[in-house]
């Protein structure tokens, strides 16, 4: 039995579909039972913030997809560390034999925000006992559907990366990689960096979005210091805002510009291009963009 955490999210939902299409035994851990019914698989109510609920969630499970948890940290604290360590402890106690974890590209000791948090969780998982595989994706294409952080008032793209390209990856491709690993013997003890097939600047992304929507979408540069100031004005803790700005500076150096063959290696097909993603999600993109204009 495969347990999918974060099952109603942008990776978990297509992962459940992919596993069901393969005939794999799967159950989804959800916080909202009603929302979980839409997944079309067995569900169990569990919450990363309630370690006791993780115990029954792991019953009968031999493979775990570990994702989600966490929230905006307060004063630099990362709740995801505590949450995912609790899930790993519950998995080990239940005899789970394999864990596929979604991490982040450039996870490392002392890294800012998610980079440091995921590194700590990775190290904990490696020492915990079950076999493991780490997935380290680049930026999500789906971020352009949320509106938050991607667009500003007036419907322009916000470029906090100084024109540097990013090899965004579709969450459906991340899910496909996870499905291949959870249903096969490959990738034990391996870390895979998952990217799209190309790295695009915000100028190039704006042109692609404009083509799909049939209207011009502009962009605006937001230097890291201005980004931090804008976040603080919204009530974001100063330390968190400064860490976000530092990560933006790193991306501006090209830290997310490389592409890898990992999606093809794991799934046997090419990752989706940004243009293909936009075409498949045009209506959702239009709603997201226009909701920022009003």
CATH number at residue 125: 3.40.50.720
Whether 112 and 152 share a structural domain = no
Which has the closest alpha carbon to 101: 80, 74, 128, 125?
125
In the chain, which residues have pLDDT < 50? Answer: 293-294
Structurally, how many domains does the chain consist of? Answer: 2
In Å, what is the CA distance from 178 to each residue of 67, 75, 133, 262?
11, 33, 9, 11
What confidence score (pLDDT) does residue 268 get?
Answer: 97
193, 150 Cβ separation under 8 angstroms: no
The pLDDT of residue 294: 38
Question: Which residue has tokens 């210091």?
Answer: 225
In a domain, 117, yes or no: yes
Note whether residue 111 is domain-resident.
yes
86/270 Cα distance (integer angstroms): 35
pLDDT at res. 151 = 72
Same domain, 216 and 129: no
Distance CA 54, CA 286 (A): 38
pLDDT attached to residue 39:
93
Q: 68 lies in which domain range?
A: 2-137
Answer yes or no: do 160 and 233 share one domain.
yes
**Is residue 151 located within the same domain as residue 49?**
no
Q: Is residue 83 part of a domain?
A: yes
| Same domain (yes/no): 158, 281 | yes
Q: What is the pLDDT of residue 195?
A: 98
Q: What is the pLDDT of residue 287?
A: 78
Global pTM value: 0.93
- Whether residues 203 and 85 share a domain: the answer is no
């Amino acid at each position: 039995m495969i347990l999918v955490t974060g099952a109603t999210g942008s990776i978990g939902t297509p992962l459940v579909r992919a596993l069901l299409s393969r005939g794999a035994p799967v159950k989804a851990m959800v916080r909202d039972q009603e929302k979980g019914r839409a997944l079309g698989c067995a569900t169990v109510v569990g919450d990363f913030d309630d370690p006791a609920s993780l115990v029954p969630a792991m019953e009968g499970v031999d493979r775990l997809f570990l994702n989600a948890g966490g929230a905006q940290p307060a004063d630099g604290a990362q709740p995801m560390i505590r949450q995912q360590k609790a899930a790993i402890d519950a998995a080990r106690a239940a005899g789970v034999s394999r864990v596929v974890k979604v991490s982040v590209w450039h996870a490392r000791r002392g890294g800012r925000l998610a980079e440091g948090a995921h590194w700590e969780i990775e190290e904990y998982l490696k020492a915990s006992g079950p076999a493991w595989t780490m997935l380290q994706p680049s930026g999500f294409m789906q971020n352009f559907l949320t509106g938050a952080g991607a667009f500003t008032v007036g419907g322009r793209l916000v470029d906090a990366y100084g024109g540097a390209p990013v090899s965004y990856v579709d969450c459906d491709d991340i899910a496909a990689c996870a499905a291949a690993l959870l249903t096969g013997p490959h990738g034990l003890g391996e870390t895979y960096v998952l990217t799209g097939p190309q790295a695009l600047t915000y100028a190039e992304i704006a042109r692609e979005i404009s083509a799909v929507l049939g209207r011009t979408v502009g962009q605006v540069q937001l230097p890291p210091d201005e980004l931090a100031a804008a976040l603080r004005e919204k009530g974001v803790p100063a330390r968190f805002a400064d860490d976000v700005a530092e990560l933006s500076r790193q991306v501006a150096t090209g830290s997310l510009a490389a592409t890898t063959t990992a999606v093809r290696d794991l799934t046997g097909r090419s990752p989706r291009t940004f243009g293909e993603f936009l075409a498949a999600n045009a209506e959702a993109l239009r709603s997201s963009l226009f909701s920022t204009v009003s």
